[in-house]
Amino acid sequence: MVKKKFSVLVCPLDWGIGHAARCAPVIMELTTLGSSVIIAADGRSYDFLKSQFPNATIIRFPGVKVIYPEKRSMALLMLLQSPAILYRIWKEHMQLKKIINEYQVDLVISDNRFGLWSKKVKTVYITHQVMIKAPPGLRWMEPLLYRIHRWFINKFDSCWIPDVPGEPNLSGDLSHRYPLPSNAKYIGILSRFNHLYSSYPVQTPGMRNKLLVMISGPEPQRTIFENLILKELALNPVNPAVILQGLPGEKHHSTPYPGVTVFPHLPDEEIGELIKDSDIIICRSGYSTLMDLVRLGKTAVLVPTPGQTEQEYLAQHLSKSGLFASIDQESFSPEAAIEAGKKLSSKTDIFEFNNINTFGQKFKHYIDLT
C-alpha cells in the first residue's frame, strides 16, 4: 500500500500581498519535505501565489473583507465593522470544514485568518502582532484587544511569530510587550528571499538605481500612494528610478517619465536584484516588506499607510532604532526621502545574519508532519 502524502492547507490573509509573500517560504519548505500543499487564497494573494507556484493546487477561499479608509483611522473603522468581521470569521471557519473533508487535509497553516482553526486536524496560526495597536485615543483598549486576540490564538495548536526573541527585534511591542500565548514560538525572519541567498547578497557592479519605490498594501491607499509618488517624481525628477506597483497578475511595464520605469510585479530574483542594487528605497512599513529588507541586508525610508496603527508604530519603532527612517505621507517628497535615506547605514547589520536565517534550517522543528 502506497503511503498517502501529508496534505497541508496554506491560507494567507488577503490584505495586499504581504501575508501571501511570507507564506511562500513556508510552502517551499513543505514541498521540500515531500508534503502535498494546497493553497487557499483570494484577491491579490491568489494572483501572487499562483505566479509563484504555477503547478500547485490553488483554490479560491474568500476571507474577511475590510473597507479601508482614505483618511479616517483604520482601527476605528474596523471597530465599526466588527459585526461583519465576526460573521466572516465564522463563515470561513465553516467553509474550512468542507475544504478539510474534500481535500483530505492533515494540517492547516493560517496566516492571520482567525477562523481557520479546527478540532479535526492540527492548525498553525502565523502572526507578527500578538498585541494589536490601537490609535492614540483608544490606547486603553490595547489590553482588551490583546486578550481577544489571544483567545483566537489559543484555538490553534501552534502560533508562529516571524521575529526573533530578545533585542534587537523587528516587531517591538507587537510581539514582545505582553506574555506570549503558551502555544507561541518565535520562528525567525520569514522572507520570500530566504531561498535565494545563503548570506547577505553582495552588490553587483554596474548600473545602479538611485531610487526604488515599492508600493504595497490594500486599496484605496495603495493607489493613493502610487499617485503621490508619480506626481512628486514629475515635479522633482529622480533618475534612474524604478517603481514596483505590487500588482501581481498585471504584466505590462511603463515609462511615465524619462529615467523612471514602472513594473506591476516582477519575479523574486529580479526584485532581489533591484533591492540590493538601489541606493535609496522607499516603501510602506508593512511587516513582510520589512522582513524582506532585513533578509537582504538593506534599509529604507518608510512611509506608513495613514490610519494603519500597526504600520505607524513599526515606522516609529524602527526609525528610533536607527535601522530605518520614516516620513509621514502628508509631508512626503522625494528630496526629503533621499535626504533621510542618505543618513541610513548601507545595510541592516544590527541583525546578525545567522540569527535571521534560521527558518529553513529549523523548519522540521517547527512542524510535526506525522
CB-based contact 121:38 (threshold 8 Å): no
Residue 103 is placed in which grid cell? 481535500
Going by pLDDT thresholds of 50, 70 and 90, the confidence category of residue 354 is very low
Rounded-to-integer distance, Cα 302 and Cα 138, Å: 24
Residue range 298-311: mean pLDDT, rounded:
91
Going by pLDDT thresholds of 50, 70 and 90, the confidence category of residue 23 is very high
For the ranges 26-40, 63-77, 103-117, 201-215, which has the lowest average pLDDT? 63-77
- For 209-350, CATH gives 3.40.50.2000
What pLDDT is stored for residue 1 in this prediction?
38
What average pLDDT is seen over the chain?
A: 86
What pLDDT is stored for residue 82 in this prediction?
74
Exposed, middle or buried by CB within 10 Å (0-12, 13-18, 19+), for 45? buried
Rounded-to-integer distance, Cα 49 and Cα 45, Å: 6
For the ranges 59-63, 199-203, 255-259, 342-346, which has the lowest average pLDDT? 199-203
CB-based contact 118:101 (threshold 8 Å): no
Rounded-to-integer distance, Cα 254 and Cα 256, Å: 6
CB-based contact 226:215 (threshold 8 Å): yes
Asked if domains 7-189+355-366 and 209-350 share a fold, the reply is yes
Rounded-to-integer distance, Cα 143 and Cα 129, Å: 13
CB-based contact 282:337 (threshold 8 Å): yes
Going by pLDDT thresholds of 50, 70 and 90, the confidence category of residue 63 is confident
Residue range 289-302: mean pLDDT, rounded:
91
What Cα–Cα distance (Å) separates residue 206 from each residue in 199, 272, 276, 278, 367? 21, 15, 12, 11, 42
Question: What is the 8-class DSSP label of residue 136?
Answer: G
Please report, for the chain, the start and end positions of each structural domain, with discontinuous segments joined by +.
7-189+355-366, 209-350
Rounded-to-integer distance, Cα 153 and Cα 279, Å: 40
Q: Which residue has the higher pLDDT, 360 or 222?
A: 222
Q: Which residue has the higher pLDDT, 168 or 159?
A: 159
Q: Which residues, in sequence order, are bridge partners of residue 280?
A: 211
Rounded-to-integer distance, Cα 226 and Cα 236, Å: 15
Residue 222 is placed in which grid cell? 495603495
Q: Is the pLDDT of residue 308 over 80?
A: yes
What helix, strand, coil percent values describe the chain, rounded to 5?
Answer: 40, 15, 45
What pLDDT is stored for residue 360 in this prediction?
67
Q: Is the pLDDT of residue 333 over 50?
A: yes
Q: Is the pLDDT of residue 355 over 60?
A: no
Question: What's the pLDDT tens digit per position in 174-220?
Answer: 999 999 999 999 998 899 998 877 666 766 555 677 899 999 888 88
Helix (H) or strand (E) holding 268: helix 268-276
Rounded-to-integer distance, Cα 17 and Cα 19, Å: 6
Against a cut of 0.75, is the pTM above it? yes
- CB neighbourhood size of 369 (10 A): 14
Architecture in CATH of 7-189+355-366: 3-Layer(aba) Sandwich (3.40)
Interior angle at CA 67, CA 44 and CA 22, nearest 5: 35
DSSP count for the chain of H helices, then E strands: 13, 14
Identify the residue whose cell numbers are 483611522.
73
Q: Please provide the size of the chain in residues.
A: 370
Rounded-to-integer distance, Cα 126 and Cα 107, Å: 14
Rounded-to-integer distance, Cα 127 and Cα 175, Å: 9
